[in-house]
Each structure stands twice: as structure tokens, then as C-alpha cells.
Amino acid sequence: KQEVTQIPAALSVPEGENLVLNCSFTDSAIYNLQWFRQDPGKGLTSLLLIQSSQREQTSGRLNASLDKSSGRSTLYIAASQPGDSATYLCAVPEGNTNAGKSTFGDGTTLTVKP
Amino acid sequence: NAGVTQTPKFQVLKTGQSMTLQCAQDMNHNSMYWYRQDPGMGLRLIYYSASEGTTDKGEVPNGYNVSRLNKREFSLRLESAAPSQTSVYFCASSYLYSGAGYYEQYFGPGTRLTVT
């Protein structure tokens, strides 16, 4: 059974810092990994999807990397801003099945201080 | 595209009452899911549907039923609500990139349910 862990559970940084969020998974036979952002009281918004054949995926100030063999993904946020404050979750779907159920990490809650 | 929509946004029930949470997606996705999110427990899968006409139990199905009415709609029913079902409920759908074998998931805005 896939298990997904995100460390740390919470992170507080001053504005402008570059930071890395971590996601670990136990079963390396994955097809893809998805990073989400959740603002308080809101739903999950997809940030980046990285396929198993990719090493990196970028969107603006965000960069996600994937190392299947070590069971790790990182989300790098450059030049953090107070608007980046949110909870970030990673999810690993069961690929190539008829349902695509996902296992989620518990998330890292990021606070960026002005 | 509206994406994944859920109704209602908020609901308060008394213990023993019943209600149905509605979910619809306009992205022609085959797979749909219901999750609950509780503080300290993360996202937990209640039920899922791989395609129209099929449903399966997830991690925490007790006390819930679902209906996949058609490809667009997937509803969650609480027959006799209990305080333990106070939670935020999310509906999601996903698209299978069949050539590559991977899924991309999209979420609705959630329903905040309180059972007193």
C-alpha cells in the first residue's frame, strides 16, 4: 500500500526566501505525482503534475522535481511572497488502473511573513 | 468550463437527519471521488467511481452511500447523520492520459457539513 509523507508539517519563512517542500512515497512504481495548494476554507488547486518519465516540471516561480528511485519529490518555491501562504499537498495516483485513486500526504502549511 | 461543482457549500444537520451532497463535472472525466477532510486526519477517500454505473468503497465508507447518476454527476448521501460526520467534503474527478497511464485530478470547492 502506498504511503505518502510530507515533512515538515509547517514552515514559516520571511518574504523573499527560496524554499523547498518535501514529499516522500514508499512505492516507487508510480506513473505521476501531483502537487496541490489549499487555501484556508477552500478546495485543492492543482499546481504541477510531474510524470514518472520527467525529472522536473516548472510553472512560474514553482519547480517540482521527481526522483522515483529514491521515492522523493520536492516543490521549490522561489522568491516567496505572503500570497504563497497556504497548505501544500502532494498526491500519488494509482496509475494505469480503471480508477486512479490517489494517496495524499498530510500537507505542509507554509507561512510567508512580510 | 465550470470544472467540478458541489452543492451546497454549507449545511447544518441535526443527528439522524439525512441529506445528499451533489457533485458534477463538465470535463468528461470517467473517474470521480468523494473525500472527507478533518483536522489532523488529512484527506480520506469515502467512495469512488471508475466509470458511469460503477462505484466502490474507499477508506471510510461507513454511514455513506453514493450514486453515479451519469458520467457528469456523483452524489453522496448521508442516511442518518451523526456528529462524527462533521467534516469538509470534497468531490474530485480525474482524467486518464491512457497512452502514458497517468491520472490528473481536479477538486471541487467543498461542502462544510456540521452535524449537531
* pLDDT for A4 beyond 70: yes
Please report, rounded to a whole number, the percentage of residues in chain B having pLDDT higher than 70. 100
pLDDT at site A57: 95
**Average pLDDT value for chain B:** 94
In angstroms, the separation between the Cα of residue A53 and the nearest Cα of chain B is: 9
C-alpha distances (whole Å) from B95 to each of A47, B31, B103, B110 are 16, 7, 5, 20
Instruction: Please indicate if any CB of chain A lies within 8 Å of the CB of B56.
Output: yes
**Residue B109 clears pLDDT 90, i.e. is over it:** yes
The predicted pLDDT at position B101 comes to 76
Which residue is closest to B97 within chain A, CA to CA?
Answer: A96
Mean pLDDT of A13-27: 97
Which residues in chain A are contacts of B49 at CB distance < 8 A? 99
The minimum CA-CA distance between B47 and chain A, rounded to whole Å, is 10
Residue B57: count other Cβ atoms within 10 Å of its Cβ.
13
> Looking at beta carbons, which residues of chain A come within 8 Å of B106?
46
Strand order in the sheet with A56-59: A4-7, A19-25, A72-77, A62-67, A56-59
The predicted pLDDT at position B16 comes to 97
Kindly identify which residue of chain A lies nearest to residue B57, measuring between CA atoms: A101
Give the three-state DSSP class for B68: strand
Q: Give the tens place of pLDDT for each residue, A64-113.
A: 999 999 999 999 999 999 999 999 999 998 866 768 889 999 999 999 99
Nearest alpha carbon to residue B6 among B19, B29, B25, B26:
B25
Nearest-CB residue to A104 (from B42, B49, B50): B42
Phi, psi of B84 (to 5 degrees): -65, -10
Cβ pair B51:A98 closer than 8 A: yes
Residue ranges of B 30-49 with Cβ closer than 8 A to chain A: 31, 33, 42-43, 45, 48-49
